[in-house]
Amino acid sequence: MTLFPSPHLQPARCGIGLRAPHLTEVMSRRPGIGWLEVHPENYMGAPAAADALERLRNDYPLSLHGVGLSLGSADGIDAGHLSRLRALAHRLEPCRVSEHMSWSAHGGAWLNDLVPLPYTEEALSVICGNVDRMQTVLGRQILVENPSSYLSYRDSTMPESVFLAELVRRTGCGILCDINNIYVSAGNLGLDPQDYLRTLPPASVGEIHLAGHASNEIDGRVMLIDDHGGRVIDPVWALYRDAVARFGPVPTMIEWDTALPPLDVLLDEAAQADAIAGMRHAHAA
């Protein structure tokens, strides 16, 4: 299979996840950020919103970060959803397209969560087939994001990072390395985040996500929840520094979905990421 290169140069400065409450302000201010990432599901059936994205594309590279394709589903991926994604990608010419290493649909029922996979040869074969199909239909390489985990499967036969690296080797996909997800999963499951980073093939990491998370106590045990509802905490920034040292200044994005703050808070977080990655441009409006 031939995977066509991105129509845009890979931006090095940090971007932000563009959410609907900030759309009008971004349209009017055109703040000095590296790029914008959106969930394509919010634009597939919304022509007016897609029109606004097309106008923003003149000033910012766009990235499509899917949440609904259920790449790990043994039922396969939905043909209609994939067709709509292809049409949107053809229209917007995003610099990257990504999805999650998880499943969220089975037997016609859709879950409201991105559920991690058991890390077995059988599950690897399933997701490899789905990734191959997605890349073939889109005619391009996709990035696959590591999940946040709250439990592990007894049947797993390999660490998550090894599973992800093998997915890359078998399909030619890239990795969207979510640093907050690594931190959350490590805290919940007792993993070594440094070992996780060392396992990933550096050349395959095409994007990094940073976000905040919540900390809840359940039956006397602290559980980290990937809620994207706050600033990046210091230990996650430290892990990001380690990732930059290993992978280089990979395009990085600030992800914030709950308790959405003013746009300037996201721009401030992006400026901190730029400083760590060695970017010299200020985030000025």
3-state secondary structure 82-137: HHHHHHHHHHHCCCEEEEECCEEEECCEEEEEEECCCCCHHHHHHHHHHHHHHHHH
Mean pLDDT of 122-144: 97
In a domain, 3, yes or no: no
Give the mean model confidence (pLDDT) for residues 128-152: 95
Q: Is residue 260 part of a domain?
A: yes
pTM for the full model? 0.91
pLDDT of residue 242: 97
Q: By three-state DSSP, how is residue 4 classified?
A: strand
Residue 282 lies in a domain: no
Banded pLDDT at 109 (limits 50, 70, 90):
low
pLDDT score recorded for residue 181: 97
Does residue 283 form part of some domain? no
Q: With respect to residue 10, please indicate whether it lies within any of the assigned structural domains.
A: no
CA dist., res. 205 & res. 145, Å (int) = 10
For residues 176 and 200, give the distance between their C-alpha atoms in angstroms, rounded to a whole number: 11
Domain extent, residue 79, equals: 15-277
CA atoms within 13 A on the CB side of 283: 22
Q: Look at residue 6 in the predicted model and tell me its pLDDT.
A: 43
> Which tops the pLDDT comparison, 162 or 283?
162
98: in domain: yes
Could you tell me the pLDDT band of residue 112, with boundaries at 50, 70 and 90?
A: low
What is d(CA 198, CA 202) in angstroms, rounded to the nearest whole number? Answer: 9
How many domains are contained in the chain? 1
**Mean pLDDT, range 56-68, rounded to an integer:** 93
Residue 104 lies in a domain: yes
Report the CATH number at residue 241. 3.20.20.150
Backbone φ, ψ for residue 137 (5° rounding): -65, -40
Over range 182-199, report the average pLDDT.
96
Does 9 map to a domain? no
Cβ atoms of 74 and 107 within 8 Å: the answer is no
Give me the amino acid identity at 206.
G
Residue 103: pLDDT over 80: no
Average pLDDT over residues 272-285: 69
